[in-house]
Amino acid sequence: MGNTVTEKILAKAAGKKNVEVGEIIEAEIDLVMGTDVMMPLSFEIMEEIGAKRVFDREKVVVVLDHFAPAPNIKSASQARDIRENCKKFGIDHMIEVGRGGVCHTIIPDMGFAAPGEVIVGSDSHTTTYGALGAFSTGLGSTDIAVALTLGKLWFRVPPTIKVNFTGELPELIMGKDLILRLLGQIGADGARYKTLEFSGEIISRLEMDDRFTICNMGVEGGAKNAIIEPDDKTLGYLERVCKKPYDIIRSDADAAYENIIEIDCTGMEPQVACPHSPDNVSPVSEVKGIKVNQVYIGSCTNGRISDLRTAARFLKGRTVHPDVRLIVTPASQEVYLQAVREGLAEIFVEAGAAFNTPSCGACFGGHFGVIAGGEVCLSTTNRNFRGRMGSNEGMVYLASPAVAAATALSGRISDPREV
């Protein structure tokens, strides 16, 4: 019996020929990523364990992105301490405000992540980099501190669920719709502790931006990691951004899967996750007409250039509904600059949208778009838990940038195919 791509990556990182599902292994880590909200705890723990420096300064990246730019004195103090601690522990790649953006967008785009690697991050959406064919997973601050110190960590080899997207992808159906559709089917714990391996005709036709979106939200089904085997599109992307050498690892033809899920995309409608869970999913036809107060386009899930292009197509020459505020937040400086150069920024501003500097702020209820009690927000982000974007009396709906743009124009949740 053959092995899945995840098993093969973990075996290689553990220096073994083979690993079995359920086996505990110790893997060498190729990249450790930390963010501003989780690093303060990790540095405390590094002090406690007597660590003097990180295991390899080339394999560590810290990104200031959540409370960035700092919205208050407490978070500014945390960021100040992080800058000092990065110097102290020998972390060269400290990505400053204005020079990077949201971690899960810039880690691949700046060439830090590569296929075949074992990557850990202090953020649950670290599953994103699986879109490059890496094993990539989120961890808490203690595990991150250990990984930063030793460059090794134990893992239990997860069973893999293969998800095949088949059929014909209708127009305006994006990566976001595919992952929401899956989450609606398997639930918030349907892939708990497991690997989600995305495959099939539709995936091979999707561009990298959509693949990142899909892997990003794998964790909303409880997945340990999400992964897509590298193909020509992956290699084309890496050619542009990644300078380091890497291994292309793919699943064996006779790999063993715990389960194979087939999703026929033919005739699929845009999908919307309703309050208060990303797995509470309905086709847009069942929720359209619900009035919204705010529309948010951005985040590590949907703040990439193709997301902004999609939104701009709808907003060009039109104006946001008078009762709605639209906040557009490119996920990185690079995306921001590209949006300016292509004239997308102009389209958003002329439509009456706030066009913001890259930040995780609004998505997790930090700043730059917090909602009040009784308000409804339609957001391209990844979580709509109670209180996630602000008041615990607020309501958050999750959808694609196409649905978001259509909704911003009409003031009600709308089907972009009808605009």
Nearest-angstrom CA–CA distance, 347 and 313: 9
Residue 392 CB, nearest distance to other proteins (Å)? Answer: 4
- Which residues lie closer than 8 Å to 400 by C-beta, 6 or more apart? 172, 173, 174, 175, 176, 177, 270, 271, 302, 310, 380, 416
- Which residues lie closer than 8 Å to 294 by C-beta, 6 or more apart? 324, 325, 326, 327, 369, 371, 375, 376, 377, 378
Residue 74 CB, nearest distance to other proteins (Å)? Answer: 4
Helix crossing, 305-315 with 401-410: angle to 10°? 30
- Check binding of 130 to other proteins (CB under 8 A): no
The alpha carbon of residue 143 and the mean position of all alpha carbons in its chain are separated, in whole angstroms, by: 20
CB environment 144-175: b (16+ within 10 A), e (fewer): bbbbbbebebebebbbbbbbbbeeebeebbbb
Binding-site member from 30, 109, 117, 143 for other proteins (CB under 8 A): 143
- Give whichever of 151 and 352 is closer to other proteins, judged by the CB atom: 151
- Check binding of 78 to other proteins (CB under 8 A): yes
x/- mask, other proteins, residues 353-382, rule CB under 8 A, reads -----------xxx----------------
Nearest-angstrom CA–CA distance, 325 and 345: 16
- Check binding of 189 to other proteins (CB under 8 A): yes
Residue 333 CB, nearest distance to other proteins (Å)? Answer: 23
Residue 391 CB, nearest distance to other proteins (Å)? Answer: 9
- Check binding of 89 to other proteins (CB under 8 A): no
Binding-site member from 101, 138, 184, 303 for other proteins (CB under 8 A): 138
Residue 146 CB, nearest distance to other proteins (Å)? Answer: 5
Total number of residues binding other proteins (CB under 8 A)?
46
- Kind and range of the H or E element at 166? strand 160-166
Contact region with other proteins (CB under 8 A), list: 13-21, 97-105, 134-142, 315-323: 134-142
The CA distances from residue 79 to 42, 101, 158, 331, in Å, are 13, 15, 35, 19
Residue/partner pairs of 347-351 with CB below 8 Å, 24 or more apart: 347/312, 347/315, 347/316, 347/317, 348/311, 348/312, 348/315, 350/317, 350/319, 351/315, 351/316, 351/318, 351/319, 351/320, 351/326, 351/408
Residue 398 CB, nearest distance to other proteins (Å)? Answer: 13
- Give whichever of 137 and 302 is closer to other proteins, judged by the CB atom: 137
Residue 297's CB: how many other CB atoms inside 10 A? 31
Residues 283-302 that bind other proteins (CB under 8 A): none
x/- mask, other proteins, residues 24-53, rule CB under 8 A, reads x------------xx-xx--xx--xxxx--
- Check binding of 224 to other proteins (CB under 8 A): yes
x/- mask, other proteins, residues 300-339, rule CB under 8 A, reads ----------------------------------------
- Give whichever of 172 and 186 is closer to other proteins, judged by the CB atom: 186
Binding-site member from 164, 166, 185, 277 for other proteins (CB under 8 A): 277
Contact region with other proteins (CB under 8 A), list: 149-157, 159-167, 227-235, 242-250: 149-157
Residue of 272, 296, 315 whose CA lies nearest to 413: 272
The CA distances from residue 313 to 216, 391, 396, in Å, are 24, 32, 24
- Check binding of 88 to other proteins (CB under 8 A): no
Binding footprint of other proteins on the chain (CB under 8 A):
24, 37-38, 40-41, 44-45, 48-51, 66-67, 72, 74-75, 78, 122-124, 138-143, 146, 149-150, 156, 188-189, 192-193, 222, 224, 277, 364-366, 383, 385-388, 392
